[in-house]
A and B are shown apart, each in its own frame.
Chain A
Amino acid sequence: MNAIEHPIPYASWETRGFWEGAGRGELVLQRCSSCGLVQHRPRGLCAHCLDSADLEHFVASGAGSIYSFTVTEQNQAKGFAEACPYVMAFVTLDEGPRLLSVVVECEPDDVAIGSRVEVTYVKQDRDDRETFAIPVFRLS
Chain B
Amino acid sequence: MSNSSFPRGAAIAGVYEHPSRFSPDKTEFQIMAESAKGALADAGLERSDVDGLFGASMTMGLMGIVDLAEYLDLYPDYLDGTNIGGSSFVAHVTHAAAAVHAGLCNVALVLYGSTAASNSMAIGTGGSGGSRNPDAAFSAPYGMTTVGSYASYANLHMATYGTTSEQLAEIAVTMRQHAALNPLAKMRTPITVDDVLGSRMISRPLHLLDCCIISDGGGAVVVTSLERARDLQKEPVQILGCGEAVQHQGVGYSDILSIAAKQSGAKAMQMAGVQHSDIDLAMIYDSFTITVLATLENLGFCPPGEGGNFVANGGISLQGSLPVNPDGGGLSSNHPGMRGIFLVIEAVKQLRNECDARQVAGAEVALAHGTGGTIGDKHSGATLILGVDR
Contacts and interface: CB of A to CB of B under 8 A. Distances in A.
Contacts of B132: 10
B131 A68 contact: no
Contacts of A68: 152-153, 155-156, 256, 376
Interface string B345-378: 0000000000000000000000000000000110
B63 to A, nearest CB: 25
Per DSSP, are chain B's interface residues mostly helix, strand or loop, or mixed?
loop
B127 A100 contact: no
Nearest to A122: B141
A75 B141 CA distance: 13
Nearest to B159: A113
A15 B141 contact: no
Nearest to B150: A70
Per DSSP, are chain A's interface residues mostly helix, strand or loop, or mixed?
loop
Interface in A13-53: 14-15, 19, 37-41, 47-48
A76 B125 contact: yes
A119 B135 CA distance: 21
Contacts of B203: 70-74
A108 B47 CA distance: 56
Contacts of A74: 125, 145, 147, 200, 202-203
Contacts of B122: 76
B249 interface: yes
A69 B152 contact: yes
11 contacts: A6-B142, A7-B130, A70-B148, A70-B151, A73-B203, A74-B125, A80-B128, A85-B204, A97-B251, A100-B139, A108-B204
Q: Which 10 residue pairs spanning A and B have beta carbons closest together?
A: A97-B252, A9-B137, A70-B151, A12-B134, A39-B251, A68-B156, A68-B152, A71-B204, A6-B141, A113-B159
